[in-house]
Structure 1
Amino acid sequence: MSLEPARVRILRRQSIRPLTSNDIAAVAAVLERVFRSDRSAAPDRLADYVRRMCLDPPGYDPEIPSLVYEDAQGRIGGFLRVSVQRMIFDGRPIRMACSGPFATLPEARAKGAGVFLLRHFLGGPQDLSITDGANDQGRYLWEQLGGQTAHLHSLGWIRLLRPAAFASQYIGRKHPALRPVVSMSRPLSVLLDGAARSLLKNGMLRPARSTEKLVEEDLAPEAMAAAWPRLSARWRLHPDYGKSYLAWLLDEMSSVTSRGQLIGRQVRDSNGKLSGWYLYYLSPSRIAEVMQIVADESNENEIFASLLLDADRRGATAVQGRLEAWLIDPLYRNRCRSYHRAPTLALVHARRSEVTAAVHAGQAFLTRADGEWWTGFREQF
């Protein structure tokens, strides 16, 4: 009796590994399938986005790469973009990693790919992990893995400038069937806002003008970087901005045209000293979405007022942004009284409890420009 040699089949195990240039086409296919909208993305454009934002940014750190999920057959079924930013905490350098977008195919999701990707990311060598594009499901996963919700940064504020136009746009966005009616009523909205702005006194709708003699000018990354150590000194935790990073950031943000035109100005005081700057997108619906405000302590209210005046001159119906602790007084002084939950949640995870404590206590400078909310991923579709 002879025994036939047993046939041995080597089984692969699902794995999480760093994204490489060889994975770009497969990752683009995953993103296309998961986030497909009414129209398909151009493959070359989506692949270029993955390469540019994951492998080529100035803060790329091979120790904290973007991640892919590979199944037992060696197929890529999930992807997590990771960007790294140099930070300063209590005067010492640390690394912050920001996640998003996060995509898994249905068959990979059923095998726990999303949990594996997130666990691997949060277990990386970075000192602080954040995301500001999370939904409730993402929040649940982060908190199950030791993360926390940054409640302060999950709130938003709004300053109405042209309430009738804002209301009509809001109705059209929430109820697409009513858009023809909203479009026809647009001239009436303009008349109502004009009348209201003429009749209401004490700056109810029109932003108040600053009493300080401030000079606004175009953003200059070199000047911004030079002033940043002085402007950021009051926060325990803040980005370590340099000229090259700021130039890259402004260039990338300007290319995200789906959010509207990126508008930014830097502000000098009467002595010529750079006192701060502001950045916002003026969306196609004429809403100013604030990405970042920087101000020295002596000119907080004036720089915030400059932002409102600039948006008002450009015909914005409202200015809105994410709440930051130091903005509370300027918001109050400038009649930004309507607060709401931001459309996406901010989440944090840190190796040291004092880092997350600084975020929760409002001792951290973390804006939308430092997260993933602004990135042009959706624009690729």
Structure 2
Amino acid sequence: MAEKTEAGAVRDFERGDIEAVAQLFQETFRKSKTPSPSLIAYLEEAFFDHPWADPEVRSKVFAQADRRVSGFIGVFPSRLELDGRPLRAAFAGSMMVANPKENPLAGARLLRSFLAGPQDISLTETANSTALGMWQKAGHPLDPGYSMNWLRVLRPASAAIEVLARRLRPAKLLRPFGRIADRGAALARMTPLRPMERSASKITFRDVTRAEFGDVLPILASNYPLRPRWDDGSLSWFLEQAENKRNFGYPEWRIGSAPDGRPVAAYVYFVSPGEIGWLLQALSVPNATTDLVDDLFAHAYELGCSGIRGAAHPWLIPALMSRKTVFYGRSFYVAQARDKSLLEPIRSGQALISGLGGESWTRLIGDRFD
């Protein structure tokens, strides 16, 4: 059903719109005119072959009077549960409008159309400052606990070069000098940011396969009252999607076990030696959080990362704060529900609704398409 105005109409995203949306994506986020065939194929896979595809919860396009697509909001349907109660959910991401000055209300109309959908709860974990302003004008503030991005520097010189290289590509040529500086500091024992040695913990962490990680994930997810309703098929699909985000490096799947063999913690992060690693997902029982963070930092250091960063998992914040971690705003989390009681686990930081449980599994966030 389309919402019509004189400037155009908001309607459901159809397969015939994929090429136009791919071009809009390239122009908005990659500053390129020509979309790659791999991006076109991925848009079809992510939005139309999604295991939780819902005919009533669809991505939206803004089509002008001449039917040209000039706006898009990507919508990923989700299945959550709150203490065993099934919930229909939807995540909104990748909102974009061509020539927003010429179409100043297109973004707001796309967001309004999304929020008017039949889902019990509407969420986004990747709102930029522009999108956040639209959510706030609609009366939905950001959630600080899930909006807290963080960075832990491990090798200062290399990390500084990596941050600079994100803005100035030629700075990558300085990487060898950064490694030399950090190596010299380590030899001189001038490494105040080196992570602490693993304590005499009773929790044992080990590398595992993607499949083993997938077996443990639902067990640990049961510690969070609001969580995804994964089954074997859907969880395998999300894990495979995440593993293919190779622009961040290669995934390291880790599980922590108690002395009796019970899984008590797990995390997956992406690593490329010398660069800043990226944490996709971490979850644990309450008394294992500190051990998880210590193992993550030590493991990333051992693999040669210059640092490690991630979006917020609120249950990690206390441990991160006590371990020389920098917090900053980059992307913002917002949640809306007609039944406000559904938001309580989010407000208390006890909802598994980010990372693999949110929308960060998709390659549209941060990956490249050749």
Contact 1:19 / 1:65 at 8 angstroms: preserved in 2? Answer: yes
Residue 309, structure 1, aligned to residue 298, structure 2: yes
Which runs of structure 2 are paired with 1:131-146 in the superposition (5 Å)?
131-146=124-139
Contact 1:215 / 1:270 at 8 angstroms: preserved in 2? Answer: no
Residue 83, structure 1, aligned to residue 73, structure 2: no
Q: Percent identity?
A: 25
Distance 1:227 1:35, change over 3 A: closer
Q: Equivalents in 2 of 1:371, 1:98: separation in Å?
A: 7
| Alpha-carbon shift at residue 186 of structure 1 (Å) | 2.6
Corresponding position of 1:339: 326
Select the residue among 282, 295, 301 that pairs with 1:293. 282
Q: Equivalents in 2 of 1:142, 1:70: separation in Å?
A: 22
Q: Aligned with 1:380: secondary structure?
A: coil
Which amino acid counterpart does residue 228 of structure 1 have in structure 2? P
| Alpha-carbon shift at residue 267 of structure 1 (Å) | 2.8
Which amino acid counterpart does residue 60 of structure 1 have in structure 2? A
Distance 1:322 1:29, change over 3 A: closer
Residue 376, structure 1, aligned to residue 363, structure 2: yes
Corresponding position of 1:8: none
| Alpha-carbon shift at residue 138 of structure 1 (Å) | 0.8
Corresponding position of 1:7: none
Contact 2:214 / 2:236 at 8 angstroms: preserved in 1? Answer: no
Contact 1:131 / 1:347 at 8 angstroms: preserved in 2? Answer: yes
Corresponding position of 2:105: 112
Residue 147, structure 1, aligned to residue 140, structure 2: yes
| Alpha-carbon shift at residue 233 of structure 1 (Å) | 3.7
Corresponding position of 2:180: 188
Query: Which 4+ runs in 1 deviate beyond 4 A?
Result: 174-180, 220-223
Contact 2:95 / 2:131 at 8 angstroms: preserved in 1? Answer: no
Select the residue among 81, 87, 98 that pairs with 1:94. 87
| Alpha-carbon shift at residue 149 of structure 1 (Å) | 0.3
| Alpha-carbon shift at residue 257 of structure 1 (Å) | 1.2
| Alpha-carbon shift at residue 275 of structure 1 (Å) | 2.1
Corresponding position of 1:34: 28
Q: Compute the TM-score of the two structures, normalised by the length of structure 1.
A: 0.85
Which runs of structure 2 are paired with 1:176-325 in the superposition (5 Å)?
180=173, 182-183=174-175, 185-195=177-187, 198=189, 205-211=194-200, 212-221=202-211, 224-225=214-215, 228-229=218-219, 231-283=220-272, 286-325=275-314
Deviations 1:227-271 (A, max 9, x none): 625x23443312222222221112111111112212212233222
Which amino acid counterpart does residue 136 of structure 1 have in structure 2? S
Which amino acid counterpart does residue 167 of structure 1 have in structure 2? A
Q: Equivalents in 2 of 1:304, 1:244: separation in Å?
A: 30
| Alpha-carbon shift at residue 292 of structure 1 (Å) | 0.8
Residue 51, structure 1, aligned to residue 6, structure 2: no
Aligned alpha-carbon RMSD (Å): 2.8
| Alpha-carbon shift at residue 164 of structure 1 (Å) | 2.6
Q: Compute the TM-score of the two structures, normalised by the length of structure 2.
A: 0.87
| Alpha-carbon shift at residue 13 of structure 1 (Å) | 7.6
Q: Equivalents in 1 of 2:14, 2:320: separation in Å?
A: 45
Distance 1:223 1:167, change over 3 A: closer
Greater C-alpha radius of gyration: 1
Corresponding position of 1:3: none
Distance 1:59 1:185, change over 3 A: same
Distance 1:107 1:314, change over 3 A: closer
Q: Equivalents in 2 of 1:374, 1:222: separation in Å?
A: 18
Contact 1:78 / 1:108 at 8 angstroms: preserved in 2? Answer: no
Distance 1:288 1:24, change over 3 A: same
Deviations 1:100-134 (A, max 9, x none): 21122227951622111110001111122222222
Corresponding position of 2:154: 161
Contact 1:168 / 1:186 at 8 angstroms: preserved in 2? Answer: yes
Q: Equivalents in 1 of 2:78, 2:222: separation in Å?
A: 18
Unaligned stretches of 5+ residues in structure 2? none
Q: Aligned with 2:119: secondary structure?
A: coil
